[in-house]
Amino acid sequence: MATGKRLESWKEIAEHLRRGVTTVQRWEREEDLPIHRHVHGTGGSVFAFADDLDRWRTSREPSPLGVAGGPAIAPSEDVWETPGGAMPLGSPFYISRGADDEFREAVARRSSIVLVKGARQAGKSSLLARALADARLRRAAVAFTDVQALGHDDLRSPTAFYQALGRSLAEQTKVSSSIRDGWNDHDSPNTNFSRYVQRVILAGPQHVVWGLDEVDRLVGRDFAVDVFGLFRSWHNRRALDPAASWGRLTLAIAYATEAHLLIADVNQSPFNVGIRVALEDFTAEDVMTLNERYGSLLDGAAAVARLMSLVGGHPYLLQCVFSEVRRGATLDRVEDDARREDGSLGEHLRRLRAVLRLEPALEQAMAAVVKQGRCPDRDTFYRLRSGGLILGASPADARPRCGLYRQLASAD
């Protein structure tokens, strides 16, 4: 018989699980979340017991060995992961945040445009990969484009860019018609690509989910405004004619750059429509959970707090530190290596310093953030924030993303 606190509504259940109402309702439908219903004369109501929910949550969380409900023991060598890049889908070290549910739910609802914005190395690619995996399970046709992986020739002109996208879409959605077959040089590249997507990629009955990562690479390209304007036009056409083929397309886009730096015209921007999700760094509770997934390498909350004073909730840097500790390093040594620019944290700082030196204005702005607690102007503020170096809502309250980044203002 269930015992413990009784939660009397979807709202209370969602608050207990620290998720949205739509998420916990999906969990009941698809993952056997223990919800009870009491039907009475005026309708129905739901309730749940906190102990039941806690046991359900524990049973579905991966152990450090990646087995749900398994023993919390230190992972063997073959499951340790190298820091950096998107995390494997089955990784036991992936920490789901509130933004995960928002983003994945929006893709599952087949929204026209779903956006996830976050600083560099915040986990956007890993989240995008999981949303696309969800879509495959729902039997959608899924395509993925990493703009960072496109070659120089693919970015030399809008025609080359769209044809590269078309070839990739055709291959991934398994259509035989080539984008070059119907290309008409008398029409604009936008018209040609849009026609191909509508008549070929969306010709079948399947819903198509197209994930685009690192679209920031288009910043500074003459045709970027046309590309983003085209995406916005597809969203508008879907709204104007819901029965048309555009209703079978979802764009899931991950980016770091501030939207106004990607495209200045708000009327053509796809970044102010659709569903927008912000991916933040880990909370202290997230880091405690991550430590448990690593077999409790750090001894208790005090050690976790000390770690966060150095790297904050920065997902990539946390991976680096846990990797160092796994190899036998102590927190004392990690902190010392960072000051001496040895180890993975030191190498990370050297790379950032090299990037900042290429643009003295950014280097000076970062120094001002560290020493004065403010950024000199809005342009450098947005660029540093997009680059994952600082946090804050405005130049006046800019601050380094983590304690480690205070060293970026120190003399060499």
pLDDT in tens, the chain (412 residues): 455 788 888 888 887 887 777 778 877 876 788 888 865 544 458 888 888 888 887 665 443 333 333 333 344 444 566 777 888 888 889 999 989 989 999 999 999 999 999 988 899 999 999 999 999 999 999 999 999 999 999 999 999 999 999 999 999 999 999 999 989 999 999 999 999 999 999 999 999 999 999 999 998 899 999 999 999 999 999 989 888 899 999 999 999 888 777 777 888 888 889 899 999 999 999 999 999 998 899 988 999 999 999 999 999 999 999 999 988 999 999 988 888 777 778 888 888 888 899 999 999 999 999 999 999 999 999 999 988 999 999 999 999 999 999 988 764 4
Phi and psi of 7, rounded to 5°?
-100, 125
DSSP string over 205-260: SS-EEEEEE-GGGGTT-TTHHHHHHHHHHHHHHHHH-TTSGGGGEEEEEEE-S-HH
What per-residue string of b and e applies to 180-211 under the rule 16 or more CB within 10 Å gives b? Answer: eeebeeeeebbebbbebbbebbbeeeebbbbb
Q: Are residues 164 and 256 in the same domain?
A: yes
CATH number at residue 225: 3.40.50.300
Q: Which residue has the tokens 């779903």?
A: 114
- The secondary element (H helix, E strand) that includes residue 331 is helix 331-340
pLDDT for res 8: 87
Query: How many CA within 13 A on the CB side of residue 367?
Result: 13
Q: Are residues 118 and 266 in the same domain?
A: yes
Q: Are residues 238 and 113 in the same domain?
A: yes
Long-range contacts formed by 332-338: CB under 8 A, 24+ apart: 334/310, 335/310, 338/310, 338/404, 338/407
pLDDT for res 151: 94
- Domain assignment present for residue 259? The answer is yes
- Domain assignment present for residue 284? The answer is no
Q: Are residues 128 and 205 in the same domain?
A: yes
- Domain assignment present for residue 156? The answer is yes
Q: Are residues 326 and 365 in the same domain?
A: no
Which residue range(s) make up the domain with 194? 98-279
Q: Are residues 231 and 129 in the same domain?
A: yes
- Domain assignment present for residue 138? The answer is yes
Q: Are residues 46 and 140 in the same domain?
A: no
- Domain assignment present for residue 85? The answer is no
Q: Are residues 328 and 363 in the same domain?
A: no
- Domain assignment present for residue 270? The answer is yes
Taking the C-alpha atoms of residue 326 and residue 295, their distance in angstroms, rounded to an integer, is 10
pLDDT for res 119: 87
- Domain assignment present for residue 73? The answer is no
CATH number at residue 13: 1.10.10
- Domain assignment present for residue 220? The answer is yes
pLDDT for res 2: 52
Domains held by the chain: number: 4
What DSSP character marks residue 105?
Answer: H
Q: Are residues 254 and 329 in the same domain?
A: no
Tally of residues, the chain: 412
pLDDT for res 12: 86
* Triad 242, 243, 245: Cα angle to 5°: 95
Q: Are residues 34 and 161 in the same domain?
A: no
Residue 95: Cβ-neighbour burial (10 angstroms; 0-12, 13-18, 19+): buried
Q: Are residues 225 and 137 in the same domain?
A: yes
Q: Are residues 142 and 28 in the same domain?
A: no
